[in-house]
A = this chain, B = another copy of it.
Amino acid sequence: MNTEIISTGSELLYGKVLDTNAKFLADNLTKLGYNVTGIHICGDTKETIGKNIRQSMKEAQLLIITGGLGPTDDDLTRDALSDSLNLKLEIDNNLKEQLEKMYFSREIHMANNNLKQVMLPEGAEAIPNDIGTAPGIKIVKDDIMIIALPGVPVEMKKMFSNKIMPILKNRNPYNFNFEELNFLGIGESNLAEKIAKLSLPDEVMVSYQAGKGQVKLRLKEESNQPKSRQSKLTEAVNMIIDNFEKYYFSKGEEELNKVVAMHLQKSKKTIAVAESCTGGLLSNRLTDIPGSSAYFTGGVTTYTNESKQQLLQVSKDIIEKHGAVSPETATAMADGVKKLFKADFGLATTGVAGPETSEGKPVGLIYLGLATPTEIKTYCLKIDYGREMNKWVASQYALYYLLRHLWQRGGILK
């Protein structure tokens, strides 16, 4: 069922606040099997809200509006509904009584403009608000269901979850089936070109999202079968993972550092990091996970050649001969930090984060060193996304190579 969301509020148009309400609604509506076709943010005037309501009624059979139900002069959703649906506003005596009781019990003076909140378009139903003073509104007009909820996120979310979701579940028993797969080490267009060559089941739609040093692949199975009967999605997921094992690292919202942490914990191994170009980011990401002290023994950011020698025992010879940005230095750093913190793994980064070049080497040339219990491997990156992003992508690959090693040892992949 097509659904549109309208968020009202000038603070959203000024770009002062993120519209988290619409995201929450879209996420939940999608999970319930509703097809969100548009999200519209508009200002606080009766005319613009009305225009958006009329426009969305052309597109959808369900319409959810947030904001503009409060008591002040710029709360105009109620009036916009009345105008655009041609329904008179009437006092709802039940609501009035409830509101008066609430103020009385809280021993607060009820301002006159609060009376606005007990008005409803004729034929509308009030949706109780257990936290705030503004009730929601439900109207069905020309077979289109319109629901207006307050804009305060905590009130809106509670009312939607407790009062609206049960209604919506009954209206639409068919769900989408959904999965997200995360990849690293392959570009969006390259991955898309290769996946287009697989014969995935026709029922499964594929879309991509690139960003922050990884590619997210979205798979959606649309069908008229209830959720339990759908299975083409699993087939597609398995096909893709089998074919792109080398690049795949997680499902859904599971971030790379979390996957790495999980595997370190599972295998009871410890890690220490030596960072030059990533400057502490790797250490920071590994310690973002609760319980990280179980696998993370320590890290050093060695920004000078002297500290690489002193703390990590990188020989002066290596640095003089090959430079600080070299596979040789990455190897020595990984080995040195593994020993320094008595860890099972040592992970090292050295490179040119930019914007200035270094040792005559180009920005974005980065070497990674991974010391495992039995050997030391090095990897080379050539990237150029600006300093902060270079640091991020280098940390992504460092974690990724570590993860691949853990997987190969543990034989766990899917």
Interface residues of chain A, those whose CB is within 8 Å of chain B, are 9-20, 22-30, 36-44, 48, 52, 55, 70-74, 106-109, 111-114, 131, 133, 152-154, 158, 178, 180, 187-190, 192-193, 196, 207-212, 216, 218, 273, 275, 278-288, 290-293, 296-304, 307, 311, 340-341, 353-356, 382, 384-389, 391
Q: Using A280-B281, A298-B304, A388-B288 as known contacts, say yes or no to A20 and B18 having CB atoms under 8 A apart.
A: yes
- Whether B298 pairs with A307 at a CB distance below 8 angstroms is yes
A26 proximity list for chain B (CB < 8 A): 12-15
Q: List 16 A-B contacts (CB under 8 A).
A: A9-B209, A10-B218, A12-B39, A13-B38, A19-B19, A38-B48, A70-B210, A112-B193, A281-B284, A284-B284, A290-B355, A290-B387, A296-B303, A299-B300, A299-B301, A304-B341
Q: A70-B210, A298-B304 are in contact. List 5 more A-B contacts (CB 8 A).
A: A18-B23, A280-B281, A280-B286, A280-B301, A300-B311
CA distance A13 to B293 in the complex (A): 39
Q: Which residues of B contact A307 (CB under 8 A)?
A: 297-298, 341
Q: Which residues of B contact A193 (CB under 8 A)?
A: 111-113
Contacts of A192 in B (CB 8 A): 71-73, 111, 113
- Determine whether the beta carbon of B16 is less than 8 Å from that of A27: yes
The answer for the CA separation of A27 and B17 in the assembled complex, in Å, is 9
In the bound complex, do residue B207 and residue A16 qualify as a contact, i.e. CB atoms below 8 Å apart? Answer: yes
Of chain B, the residue at the smallest CB distance from A284 is: B280
> Contact at B301–A72, with CB atoms within 8 Å?
no
Residues of B contacting A189 in the complex (Cβ-Cβ under 8 angstroms): 70-72, 111, 113-114, 133
